[in-house]
Amino acid sequence: MSKSCELNLINSEYKDGEKISYYEDEIIVKEPINLKIIPVCCDVCEFAISNIIDIQRYHEYQCCSECLTLWAEPDRERWKKGWRPTERQIIKERKRRNSFPLFLDLK
Ligand SMILES: [Zn+2]
Protein backbone atom coordinates (compact mmCIF):
# COMPACT_ATOMS: atom_id res chain seq x y z
CA MET A 1 0.00 0.00 0.00
CA SER A 2 1.34 3.40 -0.94
CA LYS A 3 1.27 6.61 1.07
CA SER A 4 -1.54 8.99 0.14
CA CYS A 5 0.87 11.54 -1.33
CA GLU A 6 2.64 9.10 -3.64
CA LEU A 7 1.69 8.57 -7.25
CA ASN A 8 1.38 5.05 -8.61
CA LEU A 9 3.46 4.70 -11.75
CA ILE A 10 1.76 2.70 -14.47
CA ASN A 11 4.25 3.01 -17.31
CA SER A 12 7.05 5.18 -18.63
CA GLU A 13 8.69 5.74 -21.99
CA TYR A 14 11.42 7.82 -23.62
CA LYS A 15 10.29 9.95 -26.54
CA ASP A 16 11.67 13.05 -28.28
CA GLY A 17 14.31 13.70 -25.62
CA GLU A 18 11.90 13.32 -22.72
CA LYS A 19 11.08 10.68 -20.15
CA ILE A 20 7.31 10.43 -19.99
CA SER A 21 5.83 8.77 -16.91
CA TYR A 22 2.19 7.76 -16.74
CA TYR A 23 0.58 7.59 -13.33
CA GLU A 24 -2.85 6.63 -12.03
CA ASP A 25 -5.60 9.24 -12.33
CA GLU A 26 -4.32 10.21 -15.80
CA ILE A 27 -1.34 12.11 -14.46
CA ILE A 28 1.51 12.43 -16.94
CA VAL A 29 4.95 13.78 -16.00
CA LYS A 30 7.39 14.84 -18.73
CA GLU A 31 11.05 15.39 -17.85
CA PRO A 32 13.83 16.36 -20.25
CA ILE A 33 16.36 13.50 -20.28
CA ASN A 34 19.39 15.77 -20.13
CA LEU A 35 17.89 18.04 -17.47
CA LYS A 36 20.63 19.90 -15.60
CA ILE A 37 19.46 20.98 -12.19
CA ILE A 38 21.15 24.01 -10.68
CA PRO A 39 20.82 25.28 -7.13
CA VAL A 40 18.67 28.26 -6.20
CA CYS A 41 21.71 30.07 -4.82
CA CYS A 42 25.27 30.51 -6.02
CA ASP A 43 27.69 28.00 -4.48
CA VAL A 44 30.15 30.79 -3.72
CA CYS A 45 28.29 33.92 -2.61
CA GLU A 46 24.91 32.33 -1.77
CA PHE A 47 23.02 35.05 -3.61
CA ALA A 48 20.12 33.86 -5.75
CA ILE A 49 20.75 32.51 -9.23
CA SER A 50 18.33 35.04 -10.64
CA ASN A 51 18.47 35.25 -14.42
CA ILE A 52 19.36 33.34 -17.58
CA ILE A 53 22.90 34.72 -17.58
CA ASP A 54 23.47 33.35 -14.07
CA ILE A 55 22.12 29.97 -15.21
CA GLN A 56 24.42 29.88 -18.23
CA ARG A 57 27.42 30.86 -16.12
CA TYR A 58 26.55 28.35 -13.44
CA HIS A 59 26.68 25.46 -15.90
CA GLU A 60 30.25 26.29 -16.82
CA TYR A 61 31.71 27.84 -13.67
CA GLN A 62 29.44 26.71 -10.80
CA CYS A 63 28.88 30.30 -9.72
CA CYS A 64 26.71 33.32 -10.53
CA SER A 65 27.72 35.95 -13.09
CA GLU A 66 28.84 38.35 -10.33
CA CYS A 67 31.25 35.78 -8.88
CA LEU A 68 32.41 34.92 -12.38
CA THR A 69 33.34 38.53 -13.09
CA LEU A 70 34.91 39.15 -9.72
CA TRP A 71 36.77 35.91 -9.01
CA ALA A 72 36.67 33.38 -11.83
CA GLU A 73 37.44 35.45 -14.92
CA PRO A 74 40.68 37.03 -13.66
CA ASP A 75 42.20 33.52 -13.52
CA ARG A 76 39.97 30.94 -15.19
CA GLU A 77 42.58 28.16 -14.97
CA ARG A 78 42.90 28.58 -11.21
CA TRP A 79 39.10 28.64 -10.92
CA LYS A 80 38.71 25.47 -13.01
CA LYS A 81 41.25 23.75 -10.75
CA GLY A 82 39.04 24.48 -7.75
CA TRP A 83 40.33 27.71 -6.25
CA ARG A 84 37.63 29.71 -4.45
CA PRO A 85 37.72 32.99 -2.47
CA THR A 86 38.22 32.83 1.26
CA GLU A 87 35.29 33.08 3.64
CA ARG A 88 36.50 36.55 4.59
CA GLN A 89 36.50 37.67 0.94
CA ILE A 90 33.00 36.28 0.44
CA ILE A 91 31.64 38.05 3.53
CA LYS A 92 33.16 41.34 2.36
CA GLU A 93 31.62 40.89 -1.09
CA ARG A 94 28.21 40.00 0.36
CA LYS A 95 28.28 43.20 2.42
CA ARG A 96 29.18 45.20 -0.67
CA ARG A 97 26.32 43.73 -2.69
CA ASN A 98 23.84 44.17 0.14
CA SER A 99 24.72 47.87 0.27
CA PHE A 100 23.33 48.46 -3.23
CA PRO A 101 20.11 50.50 -3.22
CA LEU A 102 17.03 48.61 -4.29
CA PHE A 103 14.72 50.19 -6.83
CA LEU A 104 11.25 49.03 -7.71
CA ASP A 105 9.43 50.38 -10.71
CA LEU A 106 5.75 50.19 -9.80
CA LYS A 107 4.40 51.99 -12.88
ZN1 LIG B 1 27.94 34.14 -6.68
- Mean pLDDT for the stretch of residues 50-56: 89
Close Cβ partners of 51 (under 8 Å, ≥ 6 residues apart): 65
Q: What is the pLDDT of residues 34-49, one digit of tens each?
A: 888 889 999 999 999 9
Q: What's the distance, Cα to Cα, between the start and end of the chain in Å?
A: 54
The answer to whether residue 106 scores a pLDDT higher than 90 is no
| 70 Cα: distance to centroid of ligand 1 (angstroms) | 9
Please give the pLDDT value at position 7.
83
Q: For residue 102, what pLDDT band results from cuts at 50, 70 and 90?
A: confident
Query: What are the residue boundaries of the structural domains of the chain, listed by start?
Result: 8-33, 52-98
From residue 84, how far is each of 55, 66, 99 by CA, in Å?
Answer: 19, 14, 23
| 14 Cα: distance to centroid of ligand 1 (angstroms) | 35
| 32 Cα: distance to centroid of ligand 1 (angstroms) | 26
- Mean pLDDT for the stretch of residues 47-53: 90
Please give the pLDDT value at position 21.
94
| 34 Cα: distance to centroid of ligand 1 (angstroms) | 24
Q: What is the pLDDT of residues 71-100, one digit of tens each?
A: 999 999 999 999 999 999 999 999 999 998
User: Is residue 60 within 8 Å of residue 80, measured between CB atoms?
Assistant: no
* H or E element, residue 88: helix 87-98
What average pLDDT does the chain have? 89
| 96 Cα: distance to centroid of ligand 1 (angstroms) | 13
| 80 Cα: distance to centroid of ligand 1 (angstroms) | 15
| 55 Cα: distance to centroid of ligand 1 (angstroms) | 11
